[in-house]
Chain A
Amino acid sequence: MSGYGSPVAGVVVPAAPTPAQATVWAGSHQAPILDAARLALARDLQLAFRKRGQLVQPLAFFAMVTMLFPLAISPELARLREIAPGVLWAGALLASLLALEFLFRDDAYDGTLEQYALSGQSLTWLIFAKTAAHWLLTGLPLALMAPLAGLSLGVSVAAVPGIVASVAVGSVALSLIGSIGAALTLGIKRSGALLSLLTLPLSLPVLIFGARATQLAITGGPLLAPLELLAALAVLGVTLAPLAAAAAVRISLE
Chain B
Amino acid sequence: MTWTWFHRLGSPPYVYALAARLTPWFAWPAALLIIGGLWGGLVLAPPDYQQGDGFRIIYVHAPSAWMSLMVYTTMAIAAAVGLIWRIKVAHAVAASCAPIGASFTFAALVTGALWGQPMWGTYWEWDPRLTSELILLFLYLGYMGLRAGLEDTQRADRASAVLAVVGVVNVPIIHYSVTWWNSLHQAPSVMRLAKPTMAASMLVPLLMMLLGFTLFFAAVLLVRLRGEVLSRERSASWIREIVNA
Which A residues fall within an 8 A CB radius of B? 180, 184-185, 188, 191, 194, 197-198, 200-202, 204, 208, 244, 247-248, 251-252, 254
9 nearest CB pairs, A to B: A201-B138, A251-B158, A201-B135, A198-B142, A197-B142, A184-B159, A201-B139, A248-B162, A188-B149
Would you mind naming 21 contact pairs between A and B with Cβ atoms under 8 Å apart?
A180-B166, A184-B159, A194-B149, A197-B142, A197-B145, A198-B145, A200-B138, A201-B135, A201-B138, A201-B139, A202-B135, A202-B166, A244-B162, A247-B162, A248-B162, A251-B159, A251-B162, A252-B159, A254-B154, A254-B155, A254-B158
Residues in A with CB closer than 8 Å to B166 are 180, 202, 244
**B149 surroundings in chain A (CB, below 8 A):** 185, 188, 191, 194
Q: What residue in chain A is nearest B83 (Cβ atoms)?
A: A247
Cα distance A254–B162 in the bound complex, in angstroms: 15
Chain B residue nearest to A199 in the complex (CB):
B142
Chain A residues with CB below 8 A from B35, complex form: none
- Bound state CA distance, A24 and B170, in angstroms? 39
Closest residue on chain A to residue B143 by CB atoms: A198
Identify whether the interface residues of A are mostly helix, strand, loop, or mixed.
helix
Q: Which residues of A contact B126 (CB under 8 A)?
A: 208
Find out whether the CB atom of A184 lies under 8 angstroms from the CB atom of B138: no
Chain B interface residues (CB < 8 Å from chain A): 126, 131, 135-136, 138-139, 141-142, 145-146, 149-150, 154-155, 158-159, 162-163, 165-167, 170
Determine how close the nearest CB of chain A comes to the CB of B148; give it in whole angstroms: 9
For the complex, give the distance between the alpha carbons of A180 and B145 in Å: 15
Assess whether A204 is in contact with B131, with CB atoms less than 8 Å apart: yes
Q: Known contacts being A184-B146, A185-B146, is A201 close to B170, with CB within 8 Å?
A: yes
| B139 to A, closest residue via Cβ | A201
**Closest Cβ–Cβ distance, residue A125 to chain B (whole Å):** 18
Which residues does chain B contribute within 8 Å of A184, judged by CB atoms? 146, 159, 162-163
